[in-house]
Copies of this chain bind each other. A is one copy, B any other.
């Protein structure tokens, strides 16, 4: 049975010591209701829920899976009760507006509570996650009446939400969706079309499901400028807010997948279903992107959660497994062999995972803080700056945190040897479940295009220049006893600044260059971001006594010397340009000749 102990010590260290969260909250009138003790109490409560409720349902959920039968989806045993308990604990609305029944907690905090749920049961977590994303989109773009109708029910968990974008022929390229929305005289619409890959498209956890559906009106402009967003409830909502008759929207089947098997991934059929426009016609993508950006950071948290889960189990296994002897002499003479922790290669894998976890967690809180500034700050200049930062870092949070986490789960699985391949140990499930995080909500390739294109080239490198300036200012403020990470961070900042200039110059010359360079550029910026996080971690730890803080410094050193060398490789790949890639004929790829 896999273990999980919520990493509360590191969470508290990051909130309190690295980011001085309480001071940040108290200095903002919209967050002044929150202090460190309350935040810690919330994390401790979530830790109990994750350890006691969702963890035990993770393996069984994978074995049983969500099932489809006669037009309805059933979740695995225990999910319904767990969802009810989660909803009743107020967790769905933890970060939502108090006006609609939420608890108004900042993102800095909710990224950490989300991490615990993703760590212990990613399939389960996806159900409330989609509800929260739908809630955010409605809160930003829906009418007052729509908000009143849907938001309290969504945050209470009575109802849930989905996002219906993808169609069989249209995923990344939403401009070519075919789902139609025909206007009725009463201002409603009839929605007709098929959507695929709809997470939580149907289930038995809530009494109603509120689908947010992208569709095109008959006279809409072609492409992505002609997409509208509609609310399509599974059951119609009566005047008094109660659930009425069934709408013509439902699942046609569910997908059989590599992982997250307890999460129902539905093919959704809309057969002239009644829909309600959200915002204005043809402006649906903007509303959907509120939801998407939220989900994208969440996918990074999914990575972090899986990587933490993988770490804890691998570290425990490595401690317990006796095999071979230490190169420096027998360590456990009374046992038939030493623990495999005596082997440098096993430690190397574990340290890779742990470094990933601590940097990812700090980075998630950092991005959460930027989101909180955009939402809660009253300082317009600060909001503008934070908006730019969020725009820059969202694709990194999604893609870099899931790419590194996936490698981390592989390293952790490898610590188990053959047992890592066996289902009962839970490690192979962790790998399978996480793999989707690199793919969905825009593949990591698409995230990289977003970073290099919209977020870098389009603003002529302004966003990244601001980010680098902040990093340099911070690194330059560090004492000389932190030179090991100070210098590494400053060097990385200079390399990224130079690389960005190279990217801008190349992009001006070759339209093909950005796409080909994107993934390596994203990883390069991700490495700089982790260096920055370890600089902040090291600075927070350096003057404090105790092994806990010394180990933070040692792990930062490990990162600088054993992980950061990847940066030069990424730079070399970006600099190799795109000609080598684009010069092959299209025919080459499917031809042996």
Contacts and interface: CB of A to CB of B under 8 A. Distances in A.
Nearest to A10: B592
B414 A444 contact: yes
B584 A324 contact: no
Contacts of A377: none
Interface string A439-450: 110011100110
A49 B420 CA distance: 33
A170 B337 CA distance: 10
Contact of A423 (B256, B423, B515, B565): B256
Contacts of A428: 257-258, 432, 435
Given A176-B337, A344-B581, A514-B327, A258 B554 contact: no
B439 A420 contact: yes
Contacts of A500: none
B258 A345 contact: no
A143 to B, nearest CB: 32
Interface in A413-462: 413-414, 417-418, 420-424, 428, 431-432, 435-436, 438-440, 443-445, 448-449
A71 interface: no
A582 B449 CA distance: 40
B418 A346 contact: no
A580 B565 contact: no
A573 interface: yes
Interface residues of A, number: 104
Contacts of A582: 344, 347
Given A348-B519, A557-B580, A424 B256 contact: yes
Contacts of A565: 568-569, 572-573, 576
Interface string A308-335: 0000100110110011100110000000
Interface of A: 5, 7-10, 166, 169-173, 176, 196-197, 255-259, 312, 315-316, 318-319, 322-324, 327-328, 336-337, 339, 341-351, 354, 413-414, 417-418, 420-424, 428, 431-432, 435-436, 438-440, 443-445, 448-449, 511-519, 546-548, 551, 554, 557-558, 561-562, 565-566, 568-569, 572-573, 576, 578, 580-586, 588-590, 592-593
Given A257-B428, A258-B421, A347-B516, 18 more contacts: A171-B323, A343-B445, A343-B515, A345-B449, A345-B515, A345-B516, A345-B519, A346-B445, A347-B584, A347-B589, A348-B581, A349-B445, A421-B440, A428-B435, A546-B593, A548-B593, A557-B580, A565-B573
